[in-house]
Structure 1
Amino acid sequence: MLQKHTSRNGLRIVLENIASVRSVTIGVWVRTGSRDETVENNGISHFLEHMFFKGTEKRTAKEIAEEFDAIGGQVNAFTSKEYTCYYAKVLDTHKEFALEMLTDMFFHSKFAQEEIDKEKNVVLEEIKMAEDTPDDIVHDLLAEASYGGQPLGFPILGIEERLNAFTSEDLHQYQLEHYRPDNIVISVAGNVDTSFIDKIETAFDQFKQTSKVSTLEKSIFTPKQLTRKKETEQAHLCLGYQGLPIGATNIFSLVIVNNVLGGSMSSRLFQEIRENRGLAYSVFSYHSSFLDDGLLTIYAGTGNEHLPVLKETIHQTVAELIEHGLTDKELRNSKEQLKGNLVLGLESTNSRMSRNGKNELLMGKHRSLDELITEIDAVSMESTNELIKQIFKSDYASALISS
């Protein structure tokens, strides 16, 4: 049973008791990411996430790591385009410790200049590592090709010049503006009862509400074709089509279409490009939903000499999808696969915490597993075929990295 609670300061708490497990996962979800940045501070959301682990007023960075290791717990964080999450997974007997540790990091991180200077080098190495992985950075290039200079087109990691300019004052100011109670959800899942809500409320009671309200500037899909030269053994290609935002009524139709196109080993792209023609080792498609938009991406990597054939094969596959739509078998199998993935994906406290946290943070509503399965079963051939024409008959963005 999912419990929801809103504190006096506007902080939202969602808690799901799973009595059959012995773990508890606590996540602090903040509605801020690279989309909330400017050209001048691009990368600050991700850098701030790093700095929360670099020491508080009563713990050093090493002590934070040692104390979690000492109880066999896990603590980590990640940043996306629209949110940042800090989470800890521990045995149920250590849930109060995990909550205290997260709040200590959240409210009392020092952002010492010495630690900032060291962490800049760490993040710079992370950027360099991404640069050495062309099948990774081609997706950043596609975001730029899809949204240009808009924040949705910014890289999450930022760029070296901006990174080097960040100061302790910059971090504190960004935290003050975006880390507000109304912008945050605490999500808990595991062997924990509703009395833990009171402990969370007490721990975050020091969090004061501000008068600032988040505003979202609507993103506009502005597809372009971008090419970047880089010494690489393969050519890496991404195509991007405008998709659907989070919470769209026909989102499951799109999930099924994506699954048939390139979302599984039995998909059309995988079977035609890898299995039948041997053009690529890695080929797939996926859909990313944002608050007000979405992007359906097709990726494939191949030798430079095979690039023209690869492009032609992708376009042929998409053209056949537009002309003939899905088969009855594809629709039926994709529904079952989607339902299976949905159920199996909720078998850990981590996944339950993530699902509940994102739903509350981005949509403010939750649907039961039975409701979701009913929606999947309701997807019709007509709805998928309409969506195929809507998405794939429009202009698309493309990103290519090759030597």
Structure 2
Amino acid sequence: MYLKDKLNNGINVVMETIPYINSVSIGVLVNTGLYNEDKHKNGISHFIEHLLFKGTNKRTAKEIAETIDNIGGQINAFTEAEYTCFYIKVLDKHLRIAIEVLSDMFNNSKFEEIEKEKGVIYEEIKMYLDSPEDIVYDLLNETMFENTPLALPILGTYDTIKNLNRESILKYFNEHYISKKMVISIVGNFNPKDTIKTLNQYFDTNRAINQTYNNSINKIPNFTQRLKQKQKDTEQLNFCLGMKGVKRGSDDLYPLLILNNILGGSMSSRLFQKIREDKGLVYSIYSHPVSFQNVGAFIIYAGLGTAQIINVAKLINENIEDIKENLITENELNKSKELLKGNYILGMEDTLNRMIDLGKSELFLKRLLSPKDILSRIDKVTMDDIQRVIFEIFDKEKYNIVYVSKLSNNEKINMKLKEIFFN
């Protein structure tokens, strides 16, 4: 059963009760991330995520962790491009403790040990820079979303993190961690009426109910043909082809998800079977869409030996052109629908996944879609929908090519890639 309510301080609450399980997941989702940053304060959203765990007026950082560990729960957080989520998963009898801990972190964090935590972030950035796959995705975002916040790395850079101070962090926190930008999402076995009373008791701090906020920093990127490469001493070449996708809430999202399964989103997909299984040219190859508030992208990734880049590029392009010319079969359409529905249902068996999906629906779409609604939308996708999406997505004028490799002289490769994908 889905329920919506609002706390006395204006925070929206969405709930789904599942009475036959013994756990509950609660999350606080805040509409802040890269979308609210610029090159000067890049990484501040992620930094605040860390600082809320560093101690409150009531608890040390260790005591925050111990409070949840001692009741067999899980506590964590993550920062995405558009939102930050803090969550706790516990046995249903411990929901009150989870609520109290989250409220303590949001209302009473001391924002201390900033310089020490910068060291932790520096190490996280180093770990990220040791991963060629992460680097190629950052390079792709930098290329596709040029001159917009989405081109920035979520972690920030050494320089931007170094320049953060307590004053700028608190200013950002007070501007963005406000009621209008927050949703509390709860899924599991609990009493909604009692839970709302508990939430009002602990989240009683006035979170600037009437404060307005401005997201005008967000600009829609201009997708044009671009190619970039970065040199790194790696054994594999990491390659991405990115193009304009569909934004969140678009009617084309479900057709694109179905198309993705067929092209590169599963082990039975065309790219995986024809390039990895039949040819043995790559270890990893896949495709996937990403959707944001005002823009989306569709991405194909491959990890391969440097000598195979042109062969793999040709095969990727051949598969795209084949889909554009011959579309897909009815059998492929039906199988992809079943795969998409199966993956969705399996994912929804975890209260944590359900909680995040529910919170995001309210935070971004201001409506709750039940599993029945989602499955119905998948079933309604037609071949005409697939055809429309194919010709919208695979527009060579909007292709972006990036790769990371140890190659130093790439002029011939770049010319060939442009011939394959841009002409």
Q: For 2:93 and 2:222, locate their aligned partners in 1 and report how far apart those are by CA, in whole Å.
A: 48
Secondary structure of 1:282's aligned partner = strand
SS of 2:280 mapped into structure 1: coil
Residue of structure 2 equivalent to 1:222: 223
CA drift at 1:241: 1.1
- Residue type at the aligned position of 1:189: V
What is the aligned partner in structure 2 of residue 355 from structure 1? Answer: 357
Give how far 1:8 is off: 4.0
Offset from partner CA, 1:98-118 (integer Å, 9 cap, x none) = 110011111111111xx1111
Name stretches of at least 5 consecutive residues in structure 1 with no aligned partner.
none
Q: Deviations over 1:71-124 (max 9, x none)?
A: 111000000000000000011111101110011111111111xx1111111111
Structural RMSD (CA): 1.1
Structure 2 match to 1:68: 68
Q: Name the counterpart of 1:140.
A: 138
Written as runs of structure 1 = structure 2, the 5 A alignment for 1:191-340 is 191-195=189-193, 196-208=195-207, 209-216=209-216, 217-223=218-224, 224-340=226-342
Is 386-395 or 175-184 further displaced after alignment? 386-395
Q: Note the C-alpha offset of 1:194.
A: 1.1
Please name the residue that 2:179 is paired with: 181
SS in 2 for 1:281: strand
> For residues 178 and 248 of structure 2, what CA distance do their matches in structure 1 show?
22
Partner-residue secondary structure (3-state), 2:403: strand
Compare 163-172 and 76-85 and name the one that shifted more.
Answer: 163-172
Aligned residue identity for 1:350:
L
Are 2:391 and 1:389 aligned? Answer: yes
> Percent of pairs identical after alignment?
44
> 1:387 & 1:221 partners in 2: Cα distance?
19
Structure 2 SS opposite 1:286: strand
**Cα distance in 2 for residues equivalent to 1:286 and 1:400:** 17
Structure 1 residue 160: deviation in Å?
A: 0.4
Q: 1:221–1:242: 8 Å Cα contact kept in structure 2? A: no
- For residue 152 of structure 1, the aligned residue among 150, 167, 178 is 150
- Find the aligned partners of 1:142 and 1:18 in 2 and give their Cα distance: 41
Paired AA for residue 107 in structure 1 = N
Structure 1: how far apart are the matches of 2:34 and 2:372?
34
The Cα offsets for residues 356-401 of structure 1, whole Å up to 9 and x where unpaired, read as 0010001011122222222111111111011101110242112110
Which contiguous aligned blocks of 4+ residues in structure 1 show a shift greater than 6 angstroms?
none
2:88 aligned with 1:85, yes or no?
no
Gaps of 5+ in 2: 407-423
Map of 1:20 onto structure 2: 20
TM-score, L = length of structure 1: 0.97
Aligned to 1:56: 56
Note if 1:400 corresponds to 2:399.
no
Q: CA deviation at 1:4?
A: 0.2
- Tell me if structure 2 keeps the 8 A contact 1:152–1:219: no
Q: Which residue number in structure 1 is paired with residue 100 of structure 2?
A: 100
Superposed CA deviations along residues 200-219 of structure 1, whole A, max 9, x for unmatched, are 12322213314322324342
